[in-house]
Structure 1
Amino acid sequence: MANPNQSSAGKPRSLPGITRAARTMDRLSRWVIAVGGVGVILVVLGILAFVLREAYPLFLSPAPATIVSSHTVDGSQDQRPLAAGADPYREVAYLVRPDGIDFIRLETGETIRRERGDIFQNRRVVSAHPSLTDGYLGLGMSDGYIAVVKVNYRVTYPEGRRFVTPELHIQANVALDREGEPVPRVSYRNDGARRSTAAGITASGRLLVAGMMKKRGLLAGGKLETYAYDLTTEVDGMPTTVLVDGNGRYLLAGTNRGEVYCWDITDVQVQPSLVQRFRASDLAITALAYVLGDVSVVIGDAGGHVSTWFPVRGPDSGVYASFRKIHVFRSHRTAVNAIAPSARGKQFLTGSIGGHVMLHHMTTGQTFFELAEGTEVTDLTFAPKADGFLSIDANGRMNHYRLSSPHPEVTLETLFGRVWYEGYSEPEYVWQSTGGTDEFEPKLSIIPLAYGTAKGTFYAMFFALPLAVLAAIYTSEFAHPRVRNVVKPTVELMASLPSVILGFLGGLWLAPLLESQVVGVLLLLPSVALTIISASWVWSRLPGHLKNRLPGPEVFYVLVSLVGIWLAFALGPWLEGAFWGGDFQRWLADSTSTRYDQRNCLVVGFAMGFAVIPIIYTICEDALTSVPSHLRAGSLALGATPWQTAVRVVLPTASPGIFSATMIGFGRAVGETMIVLMATGNTPIMDWSIFNGMRTMSANIAVEIPEAPHEGTLYRVLFLTGVLLAGVTFIVNTVAEIVRQRLRERYSRI
């Protein structure tokens, strides 16, 4: 049959009475709507592309180091550098030589200053140990002393150009070995207060330690007292390496038998006590170094094996935790003789006598790259900003490398797996982005945030979904139109309440109220249910003429519900005193090890219900009202009760709309920020208990992003969290749409 509005040529005919201006406006409106729709799609895609671009660099591996400069600083055997270090800008470096300390320009290799002070006269430097962050250098001398110096860099800007001036300050000259033997292995640390510790291994293999403490003087600065101890007899085998931690608490020594000894040296006035002895290798220990924070120890052996260890406190641990092997890294082919930790994170370099250098990360257990120097590496040192490093080989050549490793701590395992962090007894999922010290290691597992998001959504939907759906069924199927005309606009008005106001009221008003009435709140559901069931039984026994005189059971049930609520709060204090010793929260903690937090998921359920219920209720009510009236009439004509009609006819027919309402409410709960932020405590814990809080992805982004350094690791992880949140929402909505379409096709035939 031909369309009367179509011409024989197939073009739409002009309708009578339509002006040229109206047709022009129609075409213009069509283009505006089309352009606007395409524009919205492009904007959404642009936002997604931006978020992905910010998160993508997290998964880029560190680029191989590139050499910036290479200089032969001295080829003579007796003047080869023992150690090196650079300023934060990698412009000036110091070289520790047997006869003193030189400062050179890294770009040109030009020597700009030589230090040959009195402390270097009539003796030679045979070993050196630089501190990681404070600029101290412990120098093992040929006469058994430890010379302590400090290197500083003064930065000025004459004529707008940066100029770095090195400074050397003599700090102390400590007698480690009274017999005057050279100290070819040395370790020195200063706690930054009044105490410092030096340890060394003499040429004959004796292990010595000296603690220095500055006594406070009444008028003067105080006297430096030194306490020296010989620990050689406590070691089986020959000591090969020695290491003191930054706080002067522990002394570690490796031996030629592959064992590591640990002494407690906290009190310098007391003989150090051996607290642990463990086998780290079957070969000789050739290198020891603490990673930033002085908790984890990197151990290298004569076979080129590299591993990290840190103390772990177990159930049988006493005063001291026991060292455990945590990670094993890619091995060198020859003995490890140099380890350089980073001052900006948990990265470290290892060098071998075969001339290879590797970059590792302690927490992730990764080895990023390997460089072939070609000649034995005698010393390695990280630049202070971890953007480069220096290596010195046996020929006296110093190579200066540039390093780009912006996010070494991020892997799929650290984001989504259990990670064994320092101070933990086992691998765990942890989110803790900031700490109180520079040595703090960010812990960026997304699992606690995803867990908190799922938990908050579950409890919000647990409270909101039944109330919203049942309320929609009541107002659309049973309530008088006058009641519906009041209830529906009122509930829809709730959707306009700002979430920050709901969170504010939930956290500051509702949370303390629930804390004082927690037993009564828990009794609400059983009390109201039992009261309604009892009242229904009484109603069924009433004479018919009496029931007909009442306006309807709905008002009766409302009154009964109020009675059930009153009973719950009236019985709460009595039951708490009778069964839980008058303190339900203490009983909960003692009996179930569950802590009751004032801001918890119970508060979230009530507070977020005000945000989610209006959305679900409105869509459900519209879907139920839209069911054709002839279906209701047919069901009632066949003898079904109004309740049977609502449950078996109306509800299945409206199920696509109800399902859509549920998914929209679910998306609202997943993305909610301010209510969760203000009403839960925002603690990233993994516990399904309703009595404690959580941290969701959206709330975490709101809290962390203002303080996250631009393009830093935390900044990019937060963008990755946003990508995951959007991805999960997209997947859920897609699945929901597929299910909705199938439900619609199924029930459209009724």
Structure 2
Amino acid sequence: MSEINNLRNMPGSIQQSAAGYYQRWRLIKDTLARYGVIIGGLGILVAIILIFFYLLYVVYPLFVEASATPVSQYAVPEQSLGKTLFLEIEEQNELATRFTDNGQVVFFEAATGKTVLTQAIAVPEGVSITSFAPGSPANAGVFIYGLSNGGAVVVKDQYKVTYANDVRKIRPELSYPLGEAPLMIVETGTPLDKVALKWEDDATVIAAKTGGKIHLVNFEKEQSLFAEEAALQRLDADLDVQADGITEMLIDKNGESLFLAGRDGSISFFNIADKSAPVLRQRQNVVEAGLSITRLAFLNGDLSLMVADSSGLVAQWSKAKDELNNVVLKKIRAFKVSDQPVVAIESEQRRKGFMTFDVSGKMGVFNSTAERRLLEENFAVSPVAAALSPRANALLLQSGDGQVRFWRVSNEHPEVSFGSIWGKVWYESYQKPEYVWQSSSAANDFEPKYSLTPLVFGTLKAAFYAMLVAMPLSLLGAIYAAYFMAPAMRQAVKPTIELMGALPSVILGFLAGLWLAPFVEKHLAGIFSMLILLPIGVLLFALFWQLAPKAIRHKIPDGWEAALLIPVLLFTGWFAFWISVPLESALFGGSLREWFSRELGIGYDQRNALIVGVAMGFAVVPTIFSIAEDAIFSVPKHLTVGSLALGATPWQTVTKVVLLTASPGIFSAVMIGLGRAIGETMIVLMATGNTPVMDFSVFQGLRTLAANIAVEMPEAEVDSTHYRVLFLAALVLFMFTFIFNTLAEVIRQRLREKYSSL
């Protein structure tokens, strides 16, 4: 204004020059503003697109197929030292080991076959090797030889890493954990036809099939104060089972379970926790009639047996509890590996995966949790022995033609599949398939559970209860404030509610978790009483106000009636909490929470969806209220005045004219509030038990996608499966908000076109 006044006081020519200057400057500012808005908008779009593609970049490797690449092929090292019983690769994939039937151990370079070291097992003269068995995946590197004189030798290979002149060198060696002298399993001198081993530093369990019996021996080390070496204490037991038909034996890593496979296709499951009195828990036929068990192996963790049969099927039988709470074997899944008998199963040492070979040399790599075949190769040669490296990134195959093949394997994220992320999975030791998120454990043989379904469910559940609280309060409050409330009162109420939106969500979460949750738990009956009595109290006051004399009613200016409700609401709330104690004693046996559990079977967690609904609803109310109130208040006055002039009541005008005209803005307010509820992190993180359960009960906890990312991302190893699945959760959350916002914009535009003619 001062510039215009100064311009008017100037001479004419100067006025024209100044006017041109100001006009040009205004055009420049308009152009800068226009291009600034365009650049800013395009920048936001580019940022969103870059975020989307970065999420895809991190998530994409989860769905890359596994691959295998041949590295080398060579003749069996030291073939003259005997037939191969077992192959093994060390962790760095540099050295491999071949165990022979003559008691020779050959260490050689995995890539070239060059012999590094040969050692002979300490077998007494005149005694031959009659059986051999490796330990379970948990006892990798430990082996047992059964001898013809009834003895057994336990050996352990080791790979010691040294650095000379900054060059890494791996030196192999053999050790005898229980001594070089054979342990006499049976004193009769009967050969050990089958052996199985569970080894630990302080306790070793050996099962042996000999003379038509299954003999169980437990060795425990006891250290004496006066002896340098620990003495072995021995405990023997015979199993009450017919041993003639036994073809495979396995002992789990805890030394508490023994599994015997028979020629008839059955598995006998023994509890050997008490080594002096083994108990048969279960005898189960695990293959169809007419088929036989061709291979038996533990999956990593020793909770599951992988049973291969002569039809080319590999079934997973896992320990679980039955209806009587007894631990039994249950078939949880099966893999059709081949149309020919499977002759080899090699389990991964660190994941729930395994490798199979059939008689024709067809190789398959599978993951049990993901329930999918990851890799398939046909070597077209009959396998003699096969080995999978500890990191499952290399394999060795010795074939019947006297050749060893060394392959590199790329299989980074086998646990992930569409089924394991979104479907029910039957995990080990579970009674049935379930949706589970459990990404870590203290045990190395843990089965990761990466189901995003409970997280998505928790996200929608939290948003539902938050909107259930926020929508009625905010929308009805917006209608009243914009249309019925006095202007002076509106000028005080609206800024106050909008100021609530400035409260940090971490403060709301802190108050909800440490104050609101214990308060609601203690006064649960009062909360429900208040939900019932507040509407009744408001209606009774409204009836009283309608029946009050006009002289009293006219003393209150129009639009200020809501102020009279404040003491009514306070009194009704106080009365609800006061009456809740005698109500609980009279109707619910003294505790409403215990009554829910006892009579309805509904559990109660202190931090639950009710707390989230109240706290997050409180956070969402300012957003919805502010946008909806602006939309309603912006409805042109000629529409409302015209409706009233035609005889419509104020409520008819609101429902038939105002809300319809303001519906695009109201819908936008609701969708923006929903987006805030879906993406909220700190409130749900602090106000819930953060448990990923799928229970719609308002008294149970939950875990949302955003809270899960905040909790677990700092602990996730970069580029691990866990790390990438968290990014997948972020991508799902991104898509949620994108889809909701897109739908909201489409619906808002249609509402605007439909009611713009009013």
- Using the size of structure 1 for normalisation, the TM-score is 0.93
**1:237 CA drift (Å):** 5.7
2:54 maps to 50
* Matched AA of 1:630: H
* Matched AA of 2:57: R
**1:364 CA drift (Å):** 2.9
- Alpha-carbon displacement from aligned partner over 1:3-61 (angstroms, at most 9, x marks no partner): xxxxxxxxxxx995545455445444444433333222222111110101111121222
The question of whether the paired residues in 1 share the 8 Å contact of 2:312 and 2:358 is answered with yes
Partner-residue secondary structure (3-state), 1:549: coil
CA gap of 1:234–1:136, structure 2 versus 1, over 3 A, is: same
Matches within 5 A, 1:274-285: 274-281=280-287, 282=289, 283-285=291-293
**1:91 CA drift (Å):** 1.0
Residue of structure 2 aligned with 1:96, choices 91, 94, 99: 99
Partner-residue secondary structure (3-state), 1:118: coil
**1:582 CA drift (Å):** 1.5
Partner-residue secondary structure (3-state), 2:282: strand
The question of whether the paired residues in 1 share the 8 Å contact of 2:78 and 2:106 is answered with no
Residue of structure 2 aligned with 1:178, choices 166, 173, 187: 187
The question of whether the paired residues in 2 share the 8 Å contact of 1:291 and 1:348 is answered with yes
Matches within 5 A, 1:518-537: 518-537=524-543
Kindly indicate whether residue 269 of structure 2 is the aligned counterpart of residue 262 of structure 1: yes
Alpha-carbon distance in structure 2 between the residues aligned to 1:181 and 1:188: 19
Gaps of 5+ in 2: 1-17
CA gap of 1:428–1:96, structure 2 versus 1, over 3 A, is: same
Residue of structure 2 aligned with 1:469, choices 442, 467, 475: 475
1:502 maps to 508
The question of whether the paired residues in 1 share the 8 Å contact of 2:213 and 2:243 is answered with no
The question of whether the paired residues in 1 share the 8 Å contact of 2:212 and 2:244 is answered with no
Matches within 5 A, 1:252-651: 252-270=259-277, 272-281=278-287, 282=289, 283-315=291-323, 317-318=324-325, 320-551=326-557, 553-651=561-659
The question of whether the paired residues in 1 share the 8 Å contact of 2:82 and 2:104 is answered with no
The question of whether the paired residues in 2 share the 8 Å contact of 1:99 and 1:120 is answered with no
Kindly indicate whether residue 238 of structure 2 is the aligned counterpart of residue 234 of structure 1: no
Partner-residue secondary structure (3-state), 2:471: helix
The question of whether the paired residues in 1 share the 8 Å contact of 2:305 and 2:317 is answered with yes
Range with bigger deviation, 349-358 or 628-637: 349-358
The question of whether the paired residues in 2 share the 8 Å contact of 1:343 and 1:385 is answered with yes
- Alpha-carbon displacement from aligned partner over 1:116-164 (angstroms, at most 9, x marks no partner): 2534654343443223244221222333322111122211222222111
Alpha-carbon distance in structure 1 between the residues aligned to 2:169 and 2:601: 60
* Matched AA of 1:399: R
Range with bigger deviation, 344-353 or 635-644: 635-644
Range with bigger deviation, 146-155 or 555-564: 555-564
Kindly indicate whether residue 244 of structure 2 is the aligned counterpart of residue 244 of structure 1: no
The question of whether the paired residues in 1 share the 8 Å contact of 2:72 and 2:112 is answered with no
**1:307 CA drift (Å):** 1.4
Kindly indicate whether residue 705 of structure 2 is the aligned counterpart of residue 697 of structure 1: yes
Matches within 5 A, 1:63-142: 63-76=67-80, 79-97=82-100, 98-116=102-120, 118-119=122-123, 121-131=125-135, 132-134=137-139, 135-142=141-148
Partner-residue secondary structure (3-state), 1:326: strand
Kindly indicate whether residue 725 of structure 2 is the aligned counterpart of residue 717 of structure 1: yes
CA gap of 1:534–1:522, structure 2 versus 1, over 3 A, is: same
The question of whether the paired residues in 2 share the 8 Å contact of 1:130 and 1:138 is answered with yes
- Alpha-carbon displacement from aligned partner over 1:238-275 (angstroms, at most 9, x marks no partner): 111111111111111111111111111112222x2221
Alpha-carbon distance in structure 1 between the residues aligned to 2:35 and 2:556: 60
Alpha-carbon distance in structure 2 between the residues aligned to 1:68 and 1:682: 51
1:59 maps to 63
Residue of structure 1 aligned with 2:160, choices 147, 154, 157: 154
The question of whether the paired residues in 2 share the 8 Å contact of 1:531 and 1:563 is answered with no
CA gap of 1:91–1:448, structure 2 versus 1, over 3 A, is: same
**1:80 CA drift (Å):** 1.6
The question of whether the paired residues in 2 share the 8 Å contact of 1:390 and 1:400 is answered with yes
The question of whether the paired residues in 2 share the 8 Å contact of 1:341 and 1:381 is answered with no
Alpha-carbon distance in structure 1 between the residues aligned to 2:532 and 2:169: 77
Alpha-carbon distance in structure 1 between the residues aligned to 2:374 and 2:330: 23
The question of whether the paired residues in 2 share the 8 Å contact of 1:205 and 1:239 is answered with no
Partner-residue secondary structure (3-state), 2:440: coil
Q: How many residues align?
A: 730
Identity of aligned residues (%): 39
**1:347 CA drift (Å):** 0.7
Partner-residue secondary structure (3-state), 2:84: coil
1:35 maps to 39
Alpha-carbon distance in structure 2 between the residues aligned to 1:351 and 1:498: 59
CA gap of 1:659–1:537, structure 2 versus 1, over 3 A, is: same
**1:414 CA drift (Å):** 0.7
- Alpha-carbon displacement from aligned partner over 1:710-730 (angstroms, at most 9, x marks no partner): 111111111111111111221
Range with bigger deviation, 220-229 or 451-460: 220-229
Give the CA RMSD over aligned residues.
Answer: 2.2
Partner-residue secondary structure (3-state), 2:714: coil
**1:69 CA drift (Å):** 4.7
- Using the size of structure 2 for normalisation, the TM-score is 0.92
The question of whether the paired residues in 1 share the 8 Å contact of 2:98 and 2:106 is answered with yes
CA gap of 1:737–1:30, structure 2 versus 1, over 3 A, is: closer
Alpha-carbon distance in structure 2 between the residues aligned to 1:69 and 1:290: 29
The question of whether the paired residues in 2 share the 8 Å contact of 1:673 and 1:699 is answered with yes
